[in-house]
Amino acid sequence: MNKVNFNSKILKRHNEKFKTKKFNNNNTVIKNDYIILLGSFKKSNNEDNIKIKEIVNSLRKKNIIKYSIQTYDIGIGNALLCSIFHCNNIAGMKIYINSSNSIEDLLFNVKYSNHILFLSEKYIFDVQKYSNVKNISCLTIGKVTSQNHLIINDGLVDLDINKL
């Protein structure tokens, strides 16, 4: 699948599932915040779902997470796009996801139970520590940028946010 097809597939699914505008609330996600993916690239299982929710809740209570979104039922690609709409301070993102799974499966599979977390660099170790204790995969997949683009895997997906 080429770049144009990935872009249109994300936009099509976004338009089908979400009729969102940027919210007026001022989430604290800012340029250069890190984006972390919790959970594996295997199909969802209930035990991992519970562990991921425990990690996210614990990190929220400690004010480590600035924003999080679950990927189940929407896929990673749409969760990233929704994050841009839900956080007024996010102009764009640069993401790199490496896996033995196909990039199409990673972006659009709606049965992965992952959470995407946005946080400051100083908390990355804390998130990794909580994830290791629960035996849950934790990958740093990108950063928030000042460019008005959602860029995934060096331009395989490159959506101009201003045109949405």
Structure tokens at 56: 């996210």
Per the domain annotation, does 57 fall within a domain? yes
What number of H helices and E strands is found in the chain?
5, 7
Per the domain annotation, does 22 fall within a domain? no
Pick the more confident residue, 4 or 124: 124
19-74 tens-digit pLDDT:
443 333 445 889 999 999 999 877 767 888 899 999 999 999 999 999 999 888 88
Domain count, the chain: 1
98-151 tens-digit pLDDT:
877 787 877 887 778 889 999 999 999 999 999 999 999 999 999 999 999 999
pLDDT for position 16: 53
With 60 as the cut, is the pLDDT of residue 3 above it?
Answer: no
b/e map of 77-95 (b: 16 or more CB within 10 Å)? bbbbbbbbbbbeebbbbbb
CATH code for the domain in which residue 11 is found: 3.90.650.10
| CB 55, CB 62: distance < 8 Å | no
Q: For residues 130 and 108, what is the distance between their CA atoms, to the nearest angstrom?
A: 27
Pick the more confident residue, 130 or 161: 130
Per the domain annotation, does 21 fall within a domain? no
Q: For residues 39 and 152, what is the distance between their CA atoms, to the nearest angstrom?
A: 19
115-119 and 34-38: which strand pairing?
Answer: antiparallel
Pick the more confident residue, 5 or 36: 36
Per the domain annotation, does 51 fall within a domain? yes
Backbone angles phi, psi at 142, to 5 degrees: 175, -170
Could you tell me which residues are beta bridge partners of residue 70? Answer: 115
* Domain, as residue range, for 104: 3-16+27-163
pLDDT for position 27: 56
| CB 90, CB 54: distance < 8 Å | no
Instruction: Give pTM, 2 decimals.
Output: 0.84
Per the domain annotation, does 121 fall within a domain? yes
pLDDT for position 108: 81
pLDDT for position 71: 87
Per the domain annotation, does 54 fall within a domain? yes
pLDDT for position 2: 52
